[in-house]
Structure 1
Amino acid sequence: MNEVSASAHSDTDIPVVERASATEELLPPLTRSSLSFLCDSGGISPTAWSKALDFCGFRPDGSAWLAYWRQVSILGGVLFFLAGLICFIAWNWGDMRPFQRMGLVGLVVAGGGIGAVIRGLDTRLGQALLLTCGVAMGPMLAVFGQTYQTGAELWELFRVWTVLLVLLAIAGKQAGLWFASWLSGNVFVALWLGRSLSSPFDAFSQFFVLPEWLLVIACAVALWEWAARRAGQKESRAWLRSRWLPRLLFFDLIVRTTSYLIITIFDAYYVADGLVLWLPHQFVVLFAVIIACLSCWWYRKKEPDLFMLASLLGAGTVILIAVLAKSELFFDAGVVTAFLLWGLLIAGITAGLAKILLHLQRSMAVEQKSEAATGFSNSSGFTVFGRARPDVSWQALWKNLQAHGAVQAEDSLPRLEEPISPWYIRLLLSLGGWLTALLFVCFLGFLLFATLGIDSYEWLSILVVSVPILFVGRMLVAGNQIFSRHFGFALSITGSVGIAISLFLTFDKPMLACFALAVLLVGISIFMRAAAYTFLAAASICGCVAIGISFLLYEGLGDGLSAHLVSIAVNLSTLWWILVGLGLAYFCMREGKWRGSSRGPIADAWFFGAYAGMLLFQIAALGLPYGLNHFLSIPVIGAAGIGLGAAVGTACVAFFLTRKRSWQVRAAVMIGMVIFIVLSRYQPGATLAVFGLVLARQLGNAVMQGFVLAYLLAYMIFYYYNLAVPFSMKSAYLTITGVLLLLLALILQIWKTKMSKQEASHA
């Protein structure tokens, strides 16, 4: 979710920036994150950085904010309205006439199609309406089949739905409809192949490791790449240059193939007993080799795409580790030695992977014109705020800065010696560091308690061992070698985990251990001066304080003070999350204070880590209480007030952004914020998601937005599924919410149009 969680280069040293001519420049794509990185590394001043944001359009104005929330409202309104309509028909099935059922769903299908034609298939609203029309066709087919008892099976419904979606995708020329067609087609084929099985879940499990479908996915990726290459620079086919869909398909192919090979390595009999059509299961091994070779050639030479290569190398690394594990490498050396050697091996493999990826990124720097810190596409029309305007280049930006005196006229474009690694590379490499740390923790545990037989003063023994490991990790993280950086990162996590264990063994009360660990993590983060470690520490600190507050309640339940302690715990928890929300809002609005120095990446890590901590704790509070004992349900208390904290943070950002606007705008925004704060009591998870969208939009972070939107969708499904009201009320709530969001989108559109006319009249 962040862009600092796992760096492929050193987190302590900012890459050196040199001056070079325009022909020698080695600059990343012009994005907001690359400008911030350039500023932190000394390439441009904070003043020039601020002017560059305005020139490139990275700093949203009032019109951009209205357009953004209009898109979010349209998307949410359509989803809520469709869900409410389906639930309404399902609840009133027996009381509705066939014509009424078909009429309701048909109205959505017809309205979406007609509205798309009226608005234009090339407009964002038209594309959204056409996608709504396609998605609503599925429920319409289901209602038709149940109403008139056609006898059609479920796979037949998805077959017809897939055909209709494909036809709409051909007419609409948008990647979203092709993705919907792909999903529907997957379900159709899985159900058709498993029509003789007792459960659809059995069908999907068999379908996941089907060799024929691997070939189908590969052909789909190849066809898309062929069509995109033929499209060239034609404006009418710009949607084919979207990268998110081929990346998703390729990632699906890589995950399926890798899973198949791993299952084959560890349990060949399970694969042999699977569904067999025409191709033998041995085909997958040859298929994987061919796909790997062709993909390396195509995405390195013909269509440079670092995401594809990183996915391929990551999959190859996982398969290599699986082969080594199957061969029982180091297993005969004893448990303790095996954990140590495996930790060193994983650290070495991760360092080697980092070296290969950095080499690829450097060699592809000139070719990677579309690379940015996001998996979304320019042509998607929804997450474009992480990129510059199409007519802006580094040369145009530099000339503008020179014209405004932000840089000297004789200064040439800066050049970074180290490229900025995209988020997926950082995440991929961080997984290796976390796995290495886990192995080292197991090694220490077995060494201290199994081999050395320590049975007294365990906390002291763990602490004595963990502190030197932490210091060694700090020294290695600051090194210049790739292996030392990742090895040091793993050692730093290992030492921190050891210190945390020793604290919980020292204190009789877990509450005190949580608070002490939070304080220690602050100090260790300052000492480490590493962005990746700081991100993890920030997320952990948020959780430690909240869990400590939760233990305040849990420990007092047996003393008969539960009512008093509940009040204290809830108030403290609310206060804590308000402070976190205010801190995030302050960073978002005062980002310029940290730009232009080595503190910039560290400050970014604190920011993203703190929000990740809020998000993870909210998820834990929702999921842990189900099916677990009372002790593990304490995050529910710790999450009290998290919605209010997010709402207060959102209100502060809104107040800051509108402080120079007219009183009418400020009054409208503040009234909306008051309503938002009141609603946060009933929808804390949704409030937290909206807060994340505000922060992501202001900072131009498309990766953060993607994670927040995924969380919001999952949260709303969870919320309505567990809502303790009759099904009829759920359908009403969903429908009303959808209508309100669509009305909000209309209001925002009218407001945006009015603002545009006012700006035109003053021009």
Structure 2
Amino acid sequence: MQVEGHKTSRAPGLRWEEFRRKTALGGLRWEEFLRKTALGLGSALLASAVICWIAANWPHASAGQKLAGIQLLLAALIVTSWCLVYVQRGTRDHNLTLAGHMVGLAAVLVGGLLALVGQIYQTGADTWQLFLLWLLFSLPWLLAMRTVFLGLLGVALLNVGAGLYFDMIAGRWLTAVPDTLGMGLLLALLNVGALALWEAAQQRLGDRWRVGPRLIAMAIIGWLWVATLAGFDAPHGTLGAVVPGLMLMALMHRVYSGRRADPAMVALAMLGAFVLLAIPLIEWADGSASLAVVILVLLVVSGFGLRSLALLLPEQATPWFVSLFRIAAMIVTAVLLIALLAPEVPSLWITGLILAIVGAGLLLTSRHTLPREAGMTLAASGVLMTGWGVYEMHEVWLWGRLAGLLLFGLLIYRAVDNAALRLLVAFVVLGLASMLTWPDSGRYGLLDGAAAHDLVEAVPVYLRMWWLMAAAVVALVVGHQRKDPQLWLPVGWALVALSQLLALLAPAPTVYGLVHGQSLAPALFIIWAASALLPVVVLATLLLRAGPAEAPLRAAAPAALAVATVGWMGAPGIALAMLWLLLGHALRRRALLGFGVVCLIGYLAVFYYQLDATLLHKAMVLALTGCWLLACWYLLARRRGPASNATAPAEPTAGVSALLAPAYLPGRRRLQRALGLALLPAGLVLVLLLVNLRVYQAESLLANGQRVVLALGPVDPRSLVQGDYMALRFDVAAQVRQALGDAPPAVAASIRKQGGGYLVLRAGADGIFTLQSLVTQPPTDGNASADVPTPDTAILAFDLRGERIRIVTDAWFFAEGQAGLYAQARFGEFRVGSDGRGLLLRLLDEAQRPLP
């Protein structure tokens, strides 16, 4: 998105122009764009389908069949990729090839395989070992293929795995600060290292759009914010995180405004510094006068940040990251101003109206940075206060309130000359208008999200989503064609954001789920079809306006997309993401393209957790749709041949063979090529060897371990990857807390220092084991003690994480829909080895009968 801010006299931004040339969208034709989109989207849907199928814990396949099937599929992907990469010859960008996507899918499948092992052998939900092992197994393929996706996957796994690990050990390593503060600082530093590695490998990764550095920078900033907020409970306040955070942001600013010029990274650094500075200032403010000082300081800081950004850009350039910084600063200061004024609700709209008028006047009459920033803050505060005040005027006629709100928004929108403020005005006014017109009689509340309801109650969600997405298309296209795009584009972006937000709130039962579940009202079906077919209509219209080279696609491409919409008809977020991708390509807006990709990934994550359809239904629909898109990619690939070269840039190779073997690893020396040749199969061997070794160890323990039964008390959430599970809370954990208090000080201190110890358990007359004592090491022949196990005793390891005690596992995974069956569980039956390691074999009911 572009934003028009205050113009400053300065020399042309040569660095920015060079940066724009390096990251330009390029001259993609529709055929090329659709081919790459079909391959990328199909691969993403297949990866999501694999995760959903594993999480469903399908009861009609045995553990051996599941393990064998996943490993065979993994081997097939890697072997095929190896052949595509090395057997044939050619040169192409390895981020956009079939081999690159297949290795990426294999990397996702590795995580699924590890989750499957944890699911089968009940090793616990979302443990840090799973994510860090996933990262370790993916590293050889990252080194071999060097794709942006594999790099981003590695960064994500590093953050999740390290976050879970630091959450476990922060209380032992950083005893002088709260756990969350220490965890945030450690993860921020870890991401600094990841950023340095990415920058060193930037060219080899082929990251033309610099997606990796920006996402890693966002992770750094996010963890610093988490650490700073946690500082409210620290002995020295928030300064323990703010000072190193500001130093790090200053370093980023210096690096990316110098030789390694990247204005987006500079804007992110300034945004991080702004919020890091705002948090301790808010903590310091204890009255109206001090809060007013804080607002003034933040206005000065935001003005300074915008001026320093302007020096890096040519006068006409106002890219998305300037908008991001301006909107964030404006919202923070506006909220603080509202808190300072603290008006009563009945007079809220009057105060807001005055502030909005004064703010708009400052923007229109001033050309200096500080008054304009003050005007934007006043106007933003006025819009928020007026909008909420009108919303709360329940005694006034609804349509009168709605008309007044829309008129107010239109006047302010036209009066101000800043696109960031216009975006905020449009978003607030249109969002409140949707809330005002929400039917009160329906059981489907505005914020109910994906809760299970009669789908007829969801009509308001889909209806508003459809007209918002249709209006977004009109606003974006008109804004692109008019000479004054800054008048139309902000409202277009507001409509885009609101429609995507409603897509997250809408239920998603999938078409297959409807056939076997709830009835579908004709009105809802019409809205569903209209929402799903809007991208098809847009694509058909765009292809009709394209050149003669795209004539063969004018009927085939929309028809293929229409078939795909059947799969995601009940998942509107996918249709919306596809719509933004099409418009981003047609309008030449990289920000909209990137937004579409982010929306797709985010919606697939939300779709996993929605309960309107079963995981098996989701897996089937996603898999079928993904396969269809890959079939479309193949058909598009066959068109690439001599006939298409008359109107397209020359390619090193042509035809299907060029697309089936385009990825070749960088490295000119024989040693480098030989190393790359070995990395793909070596990674596969590493995965299969270690996973099957783990399976062998688990099976041996289950077959030969000592039987131990512990009493438990369950609850029922859902894991990140592994599916539905029952969280386990063993009664013996409470006994451990008491025993730690009664244990000798040396034993208790040793257990806390090493993060766990061993339980000495003894069986009662009913066969249920209870705690006898705690030891720091398992009794062995060389470590004889009075606690050496006897036939009615057992030694079982436990982990101590702060005040949390974990005994073997914290979850029991079951097939989707069987929560009611395992609600009868009262005991857990373990198999325990002589070294204290244990596995949960099964759950038992009140009479100690095994549950199926």
Give the TM-score normalised by the residue count of structure 2. Answer: 0.61
Answer 1 or 2: higher relative contact order, Cα 8 Å, separation at least 6: 1
Q: Deviations over 1:636-658 (max 9, x none)?
A: x9999487257336504522422
Amino acid at match of 1:138: G
1:473-552 matches, cutoff 5 A: 473-478=359-364, 479-504=366-391, 505=393, 508-551=396-439
**8 Å Cα contact 1:70-1:744 kept in structure 2:** yes
Residue 644 (structure 1) aligned with residue 520 (structure 2): no
Residues 568 and 511 of structure 1: CA distance in aligned 2, closer, same or farther (over 3 Å): farther
Deviation at residue 155 of structure 1 after TM alignment: 4.6
Moved more, 237-246 or 145-154: 145-154
Taking a change above 3 Å as real, the CA distance of residues 445 and 326 of structure 1, as seen in their structure-2 partners, is closer
CA distance in 1, matches of 2:462, 2:72: 45
The answer for the alignment partner of 2:332 in structure 1 is 435
**Structure 2 counterpart of 1:132:** 105
Corresponding residue number in structure 2 for 1:706: 594
1:614–1:642 Cα contact (<8 Å) kept? no
Other-structure match for 2:504: 619
Given candidates 123, 127, 137, the residue that maps to 1:164 is: 137
Q: Is the 8 A contact 1:437 1:493 kept in 2?
A: yes
Match of 1:373 in 2: none
* 2:362/2:375 contact within 8 Å kept: yes
Q: CA RMSD in A?
A: 4.7
1:358 aligns with 2:310: yes
Distance across 2 between alignment mates of 1:104 and 1:175: 28
Contact 1:510 1:551 in 2 (8 A): no
Tell me whether 1:469 sits opposite 2:426 in the alignment: no
Q: Deviations over 1:178-209 (max 9, x none)?
A: 332333344444555566899xxxxx975962
Q: Distance in 1 between matches of 2:324 and 2:18?
A: 22
2:438 partner SS: helix
Selected match of 2:80 from 115, 118, 122: 115
Whole-Å separation in 2 of the counterparts to 1:761 and 1:175: 24
Larger Cα-atom Rg: 2
Indicate yes or no: 2:233 matched with 1:267.
yes
Residues 1:612 and 1:31: Cα distance change in structure 2 (over 3 Å): farther
Instruction: Tell me how far 1:105 sits from its aligned partner.
Output: 1.0
Q: Report if aligned partners of 1:470, 1:494 keep a CA contact under 8 Å in 2.
A: yes
**Residue of structure 2 equivalent to 1:349:** 301
SS state of the match for residue 120, structure 1?
Answer: helix
SS at match of 1:29: helix
Question: Is 1:589–1:656's contact at 8 Å kept on the other side of the alignment?
Answer: no
Q: Which residue of 2 aligns with 1:313?
A: 270
Which residue identity lines up with residue 129 of structure 1 in the other structure?
A: M
Counterpart residue number, 1:96: 62
In 2, the alpha carbon distance for the partners of 1:762 and 1:289 equals 49
What's 2:657 paired with? none
For 1:278, the equivalent position in structure 2 comes to none
Question: How many Å separate the matches in 1 of 2:491 and 2:15?
Answer: 26
Q: Kindly tell me: are residues 508 and 481 of structure 1, through their superposed partners in 2, closer, same or farther at Cα, counting changes over 3 Å? A: same
Q: How does 1:651-662 map to 2 (within 5 A)?
A: 651-658=537-544
| Correspondence for 2:490 among 583, 595, 605 | 605
Decide which of 608, 624, 631 is 1:736's aligned counterpart: 624
Separation in 2 of the partners of 1:703 and 1:285? Answer: 31
Q: Which has the higher strand share?
A: 2
Partner of 2:31: 63
Distance in 1 separating the partners of 2:281 and 2:648: 67
Q: How far apart in 1 are the matches of 2:125 and 2:502? A: 45
Q: Which residue of 2 aligns with 1:222?
A: 196
Q: Distance in 1 between matches of 2:505 and 2:309?
A: 34
Preserved CA contact (<8 Å) 2:564 2:625: no
Write the distance in 2 (CA, Å) between the matches of 1:143 and 1:223. 31
Paired residues of 2:148 and 2:205 also in contact (CA < 8 A): no
Secondary structure in structure 1 of the residue aligned to 2:437: helix
Call closer, same or farther: CA 1:676–1:29 in 2, change over 3 Å: same
- Paired residue for 1:422, among 303, 319, 334? 319
Match of residue 579 from structure 2: 691
Moved more, 740-749 or 661-670: 661-670
The alpha carbon displacement at 1:309 in A equals 3.1
Seen in structure 2, the aligned counterparts of structure 1 residues 60 and 610 have a Cα distance that, compared at 3 Å, is farther
Residues 41 and 629 in structure 2, CA contact (< 8 A), matched pair in contact too = yes
Amino acid at match of 2:273: G
Q: CA deviation at 1:112?
A: 2.1
Which moved further from structure 2: 578-587 or 637-646? 637-646
- Aligned residue runs from structure 1 range 55-454, under 5 A: 61-87=29-55, 90-92=57-59, 95-96=61-62, 98=64, 100-120=65-85, 123=94, 124-125=96-97, 126-144=99-117, 154-192=127-165, 209=183, 212-226=186-200, 237=204, 239=206, 243-264=210-231, 266-269=232-235, 288=245, 291=248, 294-328=251-285, 331-332=286-287, 335=288, 337=289, 340-359=292-311, 361=312, 416=314, 418=315, 420-446=317-343, 449=344
Are the aligned partners of 1:689 and 1:711 in contact in 2 as well (CA < 8 Å)?
yes
Conserved 8 A contact 2:472-2:496? yes
Contact 1:574 1:642 (C-alpha < 8 Å) held by counterparts = yes
Distance 1:433 1:256 in 2: 22
Shift of 1:693: 1.9
Instruction: From the superposition, tell whether residues 742 and 216 of structure 1 become closer, same or farther in structure 2 (CA, over 3 Å).
Output: same
Residues 312-321 or 722-731, more deviating: 722-731
User: What aligned pairs does 1:714-753 form with structure 2 within 5 A after superposition?
Assistant: 714-752=602-640
Give, as a single letter, the amino acid of the residue that structure 2 aligns with 1:420.
Answer: A
* CA distance 1:751–1:421, change in 2 (3 Å): same
How far did residue 172 of structure 1 move?
1.8
8 Å CA contact 1:643–1:688 kept in 2: the answer is no
Contact kept in structure 2, 1:651 and 1:673, CA below 8 Å = no
SS in 2 for 1:209: helix
Name the CA distance, whole Å, in 2 between partners of 1:187 and 1:164.
15
Q: Which residue of 1 aligns with 2:817?
A: none
Separation in structure 2 between the aligned mates of residue 692 and residue 760 of structure 1, nearest angstrom = 25
C-alpha distance in 1 between matches for 2:411 and 2:249: 45
Within 2, Cα distance between the matches of 1:727 and 1:71? 24
The residue number in structure 2 matching 1:756 is 644
Structure 1 unaligned residues grouped into runs of 5+? 36-55, 199-203, 232-236, 273-280, 366-415, 450-457, 558-565, 624-636
Contact kept, 8 Å, 2:256 with 2:262, in 1: the verdict is yes
Identify if the C-alpha distance between structure 1 residues 109 and 553 changes in structure 2 by more than 3 Å, giving closer, same or farther: same
Q: Offset of 1:594 from its aligned partner?
A: 0.7
Larger relative helix fraction = 1
Provide Cα deviations, 1:75-118, integer angstroms capped at 9, x if missing partner.
Answer: 32432342254246x213x74251x2233111232222123223
Contact 1:489 1:533 in 2 (8 A): yes
**Structure 1 residue matching 2:377: 3-state secondary structure:** helix
* Higher alpha-carbon deviation: 503-512 or 189-198: 189-198
Structure 2: distance between partners of 1:157 and 1:288: 30
Please give the alpha-carbon distance, in whole angstroms, between the structure 2 residues aligned to 1:638 and 1:496.
Answer: 34
State the AA in 1 paired with 2:193: C
Alpha-carbon contact 1:585-1:649 (below 8 Å) kept:
no
